[in-house]
Amino acid sequence: MSHPHFTDEVTEQRHEPSLAVTRRAALAGLIGSTIEWYDFYIYGLAAALIFGTEFFPSFSPAAGTLAAFGTFAVGFVARPLGGVVFGHFGDRVGRKKALMLTLFLMGAATVVVGLLPGYQTIGIWAPILLVTLRFLQGFAVGGEWGGAVTMVVESSPRHRRGFWGSLPQMGVPLGLVLSSTLFAAVSTLPDDDLLAWGWRIPFLLSIVLIAVGLFLRSHITEPPAFVQIKETGQARKLPAKDVFRRHGKAIALTVGMYISAGVPFYIVSVFVLSYGSSHLGLSRDVLLTGIVISAAIEAMTVPYFGALSDRLGRRPVFLTAAAFTLLLAFPFFWLLATGQTSLTWLAMLLALAVAHAGMYGPTAALYAELFDADVRYTGTSIGYQLGGVVAGCVPLIAGALVGAAGGAAWPIASIWATAALIGLLCALATQETRGRDLHTDHDTGD
């Protein structure tokens, strides 16, 4: 009589892809994810530094910045819709085709932003078109993350999913490095040149990156879990309906875990750029350099924490990082308030390369392992992107709260701490998923 656990391992070993297939999927996921997030972040940087003047000039400086952050938040509102649509497509037609579409749509929207005339040229149509393009960016990225991590995790061996799945996660800090580096470069231009044409360069360069990404993704193959679904005719007609019915609890928990990582991340990478320069007197160059350094180091720590989750489990790694994030909330702003460059960079390093990386590294494998194969693309996308709605609105909310508090940081530090606590509690309520068979349905306790 065969042992059930042994039978599961033998079954999945037959489905496990070769190392070459795993590497190809991981590289395509990493490059594609980096490009997608590069496109997404250059908008955030431009919202903090440029768009208030270029597209909302009739507002006061503070109101213009808030309006620009509002357009930034629109992209996050669109993300769950993109997760549902592309998740439906990816779970029914194929992971690969859905990922090709997300990359193309994101690139097209980004390039058009770089060509968009300002308010002085076309009036009210400038902010209207800007918001529309931002919505399309969010719609595209809504289907990117879930598809990329699903593709890579399903193409990875059972005992290394945490590591391989974390490689597309590196696209977040690498995209931030690329976008921040380019904006730091164009920011050296005289202000008139920067506002007239310099800010457009990072957007227009996206067309080259998109071509590279599409080429790489055209050479990947569908993972075994999806091939099995297609061959057995198990594809769901409405994956979104089924995933809420069967995995409602898992979606709620993934939303909460994303909030704990996403809220501090967007505070550091977007809000601090305007807050640090306007309220603390920190130079824009110091802030951008700090982000670049911290994100570059995070690109190395994310796979470390992903690999660590293969050894220790997803929950222990995430829980430890969430607890650290909670403890860092107020000290982060105390370090910024010193006005010292080294302490500002230390604060950013701890926030991105330790706190965020520690939570973000294991989540690709964790999210994918929580959902059954026939709804996995949809489930991971919806959970991640609903959390993104909350995180993406934080820069807008933070600007209003800090302004009302006379520039004090305690309101936003409190939001940071609350988000970390939510993630901590959700991780405690989540089952350990390391080693779970991706080819069979599971009782997730929903």
Q: Is 58 helix (H, G, I), strand (E, B) or coil?
A: coil
For 334-384, give the DSSP string. HHHHT--HHHHHHHHHIIIIIIIHHHHHHHHHHHHHHS-GGGHHHHHHHHH
Domains of the chain: which residue ranges?
Answer: 19-428
For position 239, what pLDDT does the model report? 83
Query: 233: burial class by Cβ within 10 Å (0-12, 13-18, 19+)?
Result: exposed
What amino acid occupies position 434? R
The DSSP 8-state label assigned to residue 237 in this structure reads S
Tokens representing 155 are 């193409």
Distance CA 439, CA 358 (A): 27
- Give pLDDT, residue 10: 44
**For residue 157, what are the CA distances in angstroms to 21, 31, 291, 379, 432?**
11, 21, 34, 21, 18
Closest CA to 155 of 324, 21, 303, 301: 21
- Looking from the CA of 281 toward its CB, the CA atoms found within 13 Å total 4
**What class is the 19-428 domain?**
mainly alpha
> Of the candidates 186, 348, 328, which has an alpha carbon nearest to the alpha carbon of residue 282?
348
Give pTM, 2 decimals: 0.83
The number of beta carbons lying within 10 Å of the beta carbon of residue 278 is 16
Place of tokens 């730091």: 184
pLDDT along the chain (446 residues), means of 10: 44 63 86 81 74 67 61 76 89 87 88 86 83 86 87 90 92 85 83 83 87 86 80 77 89 94 89 81 86 92 96 96 97 93 96 96 93 89 89 77 77 93 95 82 49
